[in-house]
Structure 1
Amino acid sequence: MMRLLRPLLICVAGSILLTTAAYADGTEITAQIKVKMLGADRSSRHHSNADVVLWLTPADPGESSVVPRDIGKTHYQLAQKNKQFIPHLLVIPTGGVVDFPNEDPFFHNVFSLFNGRRFDLGLYESGTTRSVHFDRSGVSYIFCNIHPEMSAIIITVPTRWFAVSSATGAVTIPDVAPGTYDLHVWAMGSSDASLAALGRRISVSGRTRELGTISVEASIPGPHKNKFGEDYDVSQPSSY
């Protein structure tokens, strides 16, 4: 019996190795981001080519890509420390869970009620953690209802092929399987219309695929509201 099964096992093992090798030797997608600040923000100190997100989705809807980049990784973290969210920008595959540990010596109230995944974690104390399941794609703007200076963005994408630009504007998406994809772009302070115009369909094959320079227009967002849709009361110092 084992003699009969041995050729089949060898065939299956060889197929797995070939599939793994094909994925590991996928195409490296590269691009250069150039951010142009609009209006009075043009010379702002906030001007940077960093934190522009690119992701690819298969042009064929039947080709599923909803698989985390790191096999088995389902939890991500957005910490609260020194009245900041760390990191400020987090990109995760759809279905991921984000932990929000409070590493400050006082209370926080993390919420997101305006776009993407809506939630309100309520007040919770130092040393505790609360979690949110991001079960749909979209952009979620994260704030604290106590501290108006705190903000972050979580972008949930239905694909394993995504990357974030560096301070120099360089961005690389590694190991992309051959095929036809729709390119998506996101940048803080850019309008939906301008971002949609940057998207395009691309064909992927070979060892590398250079997308060239992607020019993004952006402006610095204005102040946000609290979870009740009202301005923060900054006249009274927070007791937390």
Structure 2
Amino acid sequence: MDKISKPSVSPNPVILQSEGLLKYILETSVYPREEETLKELRNATTNHPLGFMGTAPDAGQLMVLFLKLLNAKKTIEVGVFTGYSLLLTALNIPHDGKITAVDPDRKAYELGIPFIKKAGLLHKIDYIESPALPVLDKLLEDPANEGTFDFAFVDADKNNYWNYHERLIKLIKIGGIVAYDNTLWGGTVALPEIAVLESKREWRRSTLAFNKAISNDSRLEIAHVSIGDGLTICRRVS
């Protein structure tokens, strides 16, 4: 009789990082629970020349849990692209919830508008076509906005992540969450710079600096999660 081998105590890191495992997670736990309009928008986004920039659906599934645990009603999104994470948020906040969504590229957002309309959720979104820093500064000009947002999601220019953070940490309530996407930058953060394509080096350096700064921010509790392209979840505690 063949002996049944016991699993290794330390899982094989190659298996943990494999595309096959990601495929298994997506097909088993993510895609079957994905809202139909989200699925349609995700598929439409693959036809965009920069379709790889769309929010990873497994990261989106995690965001849904946070939105529901927070009973989030007022959120902000920095970087919209075609609107997958925007639609996901709109689906999971109350009917009278509001999302302030900021992105200078309305053309990409227009790809997602028909799907948001189909879901009947356009009324929840205040889209502002603009770079984010002036919008965040404008919000902070009114002290009544401080500490009033439940949740924020950032998927924008990495060299400005810390600038966004310094503003968002004032806008998010204590106990609220800010999630930053792409904080592993294709895994390059774990490589020596010489092994990284020159085109990726500048934002890799920005990501490394941001990750270090966020780790040292005593105003937060954080979890740096290896999901999608890296998601850093920050809970404001002071």
**TM-score bracket for the superposition, by shorter chain length:** under 0.3
Is the strand fraction higher in 1 or 2? 1
Larger Rg: 1
More helix by share: 2
When normalised by structure 1's length, the TM-score is 0.27
| Greater relative contact order, per chain length (Cα 8 Å cut-off, separation 6+) | 1
